[in-house]
């Protein structure tokens, strides 16, 4: 009984810590080559008129494959980064892993040194 309570508490703590990390992840320490890669990918996606690729201004429905929890996020430029409102920068850990992917693809984000796998359930143009 005590072990079960401790296990549930510990799993809950890990989930909250992962969520906190993901929401506050703003990876400003990207290496210059990684940042150049993000900029290059943004340039390629700028002219893409199909709505199935993840790029700035798109609303993305993600499913955490560990616990099946769904998240609604919008990919934005760094100055609009506000995780509490569901807006994640393209240079955050989550943004970098999602950029350019499409519906049905998987994205892996390292959270606290542990890989967390997300499936992109849907990609739509964000409402202004």
Q: Is the pLDDT of residue 28 over 60?
A: no
Q: Is the pLDDT of residue 96 over 90?
A: no
pLDDT at 78: 84
Q: Is the pLDDT of residue 37 over 70?
A: yes
Enumerate domains of the chain plus CATH numbers: 2-125 (3.10.50.30)
pLDDT band at 70 (very low <50, low <70, confident <90, very high): very high
Give mean pLDDT, residues 108-123.
Answer: 88
113 or 96, higher pLDDT: 96
Q: Is the pLDDT of residue 98 over 80?
A: yes
Q: Which of 70, 76, 69, 78 is nearest to 28 (CA)?
A: 78
- Is the pTM value of this prediction over 0.75? no
Give the separation between CA 42 and CA 61, rounded to whole angstroms: 20
pLDDT band at 2 (very low <50, low <70, confident <90, very high): low
């Amino acid at each position: 009984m005590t072990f079960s309570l401790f296990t549930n508490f510990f799993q809950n703590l890990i989930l909250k810590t992962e969520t906190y990390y993901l929401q506050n992840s703003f990876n400003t320490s990207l290496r210059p080559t990684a940042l150049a890669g993000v900029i290059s990918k943004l340039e390629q996606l700028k002219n893409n008129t199909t709505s199935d690729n993840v790029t700035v201004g798109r609303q993305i429905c993600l499913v955490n494959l560990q616990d099946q929890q769904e998240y609604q996020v919008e990919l934005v430029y760094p100055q609009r980064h506000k995780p509490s409102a569901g807006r994640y920068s393209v240079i955050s850990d989550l943004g970098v892993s999602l950029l350019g992917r499409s519906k049905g693809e998987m994205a892996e984000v390292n959270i606290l040194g542990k890989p967390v796998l997300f499936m992109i359930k849907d990609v739509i143009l964000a409402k202004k």
